[in-house]
Structure 1
């Protein structure tokens, strides 16, 4: 056993750069797990600056100075953030509250429809089973209501922390954009001069993940805005809330669109029933999903992430379970990072001693 383990170590950790990269990745993971909550503003600033670096580079390519490019992009970022805080979030919160108040009525209509099933299929389902399901749903809704009240009360104490974040994160974003190259050069100076593997991993990450993250943000905005315009024109209730759900659903490949279709269809059904309005809205929703999958995604993600669908689903489940929303958002980039490291990892040739001696 010792001989087998020793050969495995020699095969995969015989290169000094591989050992250093392994230590750096382990240290980064340890920092995220232990200090992640305290360093959340720093991580948020890094992510936002990374997303906006493409716009800064584009402005610099148009002969604008670095500081002017950073200032223009930063002002756009602040304007969009203020618009979200002052207009979008209050609207979504108000619609979410209205929907929560409507849930008892919706549940009552669901019960009336469900009670028709025992009459049509008496051998498969009984009235007692329907009532049990409805009572369970009502109990879960009651728990959700208690959670909302508790969340609102507990959030009062975190208002100061949120205000600090709203001030600190934009400051960090500005300095990361302004001094990003200097910070990168300083970090690179701490690494060994020989870093072919790290360079290979970084190049692959820069080519695929930068395009993926920026493209995904643009896709969320386009799909969300297009959905809101369509839903608002057609007059469905809770258009802003549903549009945000549809926009965020693109984060979860393959299953996000299927999951968000259910609340869209239910709200439309309980508002209009089986009418022409319902059919038109679902047709418009289907057209948006089709255009997203067949037009928008190929345009935004020309540099496709070469991952198997099973790997993507596993990454979404794993990282989403570890880090929630951000885990889902960065599931594919993290999976791509792991794939790039495995592809670039140096492997020593098999030793001749592996052949049994005669």
Structure 2
């Protein structure tokens, strides 16, 4: 057993940099799993500053001075940040409360429709099955309404924390943008001077994270805005809430679009029934999803590393289970990071003992 471990160690950890990379990965995972909640505003500020650095770099590439590029990027961030926190999220929350209050009426209408199923299709549905389904739906609705009320009351105690985050995150983003080079130089001082492996992985992951994170933010904004305009144009109830859900659904490839389709269709059905407005909304929604998957995604992620769909789903399940929404958002870049580390990790063939030549046999001639 020790011989197998020794061969593995000599093959993959023969360089000082390999050991350092392994230690850094272990420390990062341990910190995120133990004090990830405490570091949440810091991590959020790093991600947001990273996104805004792309806009600043684009402005600088067109001849704009760095101080002006940083200022413009920060002002854009401030506008989006406070627009989302002070307008969009409260609006979506009010519509969620309105939907919760209207849900019992929707449930009664759905019950009336379910009662007709055993009469029309007695060989498939029974009255007992429909009654059990309605009872289960009513229990879930009561539990969901209670949870929303509880969260509303709990949010009062967390108001101070939200206010601190609203002050702390913009400050951190500003300093990360302004002092980016000095912070990176300070962090690099703790690493060895000769670090080709870390440089290679950083260069590749910087490109992949930039392409994915910035492209995903643009996709969320475009899909969410297009959905809101379509829903508002058709006068669909809870347009802001549903558009926010549709925009956030692009974070989870393949699964998000399927999950968010259900509330959109249900709200449209209970508002209009099987009418022309309902069918028109379904067609418009399918067009938005089709344009997103066939036009917007290839345009935004043309330089992204291709991963197998099974690898993407496993990464979403694993990192989402560990780090929640942030893990889901960065599941694909983290999977790409693992792939880059595996391909870039140095290895060498373990010297094997030279084979012993068989003894020469001589044939005596008589």
Scaled to the shorter chain, the TM-score interval is over 0.9
For residues 26 and 284 of structure 1, the distance between their equivalents in structure 2, rounded to whole angstroms, comes to: 47
SS at match of 1:352: coil
Where do residues 174-193 of structure 1 align in structure 2 (5 Å cutoff)?
A: 174-193=174-193
Structure-1 residue corresponding to 2:294: 294
Where do residues 271-286 of structure 1 align in structure 2 (5 Å cutoff)?
A: 271-286=271-286
RMSD: 1.6
1:112 aligns with 2:112: yes
Shift of 1:90: 2.3
Structure-1 residue corresponding to 2:254: 254
Contact 2:10 / 2:350 at 8 angstroms: preserved in 1? no
Shift of 1:305: 2.3
* Aligned residue-pair number: 358
TM-score, normalisation: structure 2: 0.94
For residues 140 and 33 of structure 2, the distance between their equivalents in structure 1, rounded to whole angstroms, comes to: 32
Shift of 1:18: 0.7
Greater Cα offset, 346-355 or 76-85: 346-355
For residues 187 and 148 of structure 2, the distance between their equivalents in structure 1, rounded to whole angstroms, comes to: 44
Structure-2 residue corresponding to 1:99: 99
TM-score, normalisation: structure 1: 0.96
In structure 1, runs of 5+ residues without a counterpart are none
SS at match of 1:115: helix
For residues 338 and 26 of structure 1, the distance between their equivalents in structure 2, rounded to whole angstroms, comes to: 13
Structure-1 residue corresponding to 2:361: none
In structure 2, runs of 5+ residues without a counterpart are 359-366
Structure-2 residue corresponding to 1:168: 168
The structure that has the greater radius of gyration is 2
Contact 2:53 / 2:177 at 8 angstroms: preserved in 1? yes
Alpha-carbon displacement from aligned partner over 1:307-334 (angstroms, at most 9, x marks no partner): 1110000001111111111111011111
For residues 138 and 357 of structure 1, the distance between their equivalents in structure 2, rounded to whole angstroms, comes to: 81
Shift of 1:155: 2.1
Shift of 1:89: 1.9
Rate the CA distance shift 1:116–1:194 in 2: closer, same or farther, 3 A. Answer: same
Rate the CA distance shift 1:306–1:107 in 2: closer, same or farther, 3 A. Answer: same
1:213 aligns with 2:213: yes
Rate the CA distance shift 1:233–1:322 in 2: closer, same or farther, 3 A. Answer: same
For residues 314 and 356 of structure 1, the distance between their equivalents in structure 2, rounded to whole angstroms, comes to: 47
Rate the CA distance shift 1:61–1:117 in 2: closer, same or farther, 3 A. Answer: same
Rate the CA distance shift 1:66–1:126 in 2: closer, same or farther, 3 A. Answer: same
Shift of 1:37: 1.7
1:335 aligns with 2:335: yes
Alpha-carbon displacement from aligned partner over 1:326-350 (angstroms, at most 9, x marks no partner): 1110111111111111111111214
For residues 354 and 75 of structure 2, the distance between their equivalents in structure 1, rounded to whole angstroms, comes to: 63
Where do residues 62-141 of structure 1 align in structure 2 (5 Å cutoff)?
A: 62-141=62-141
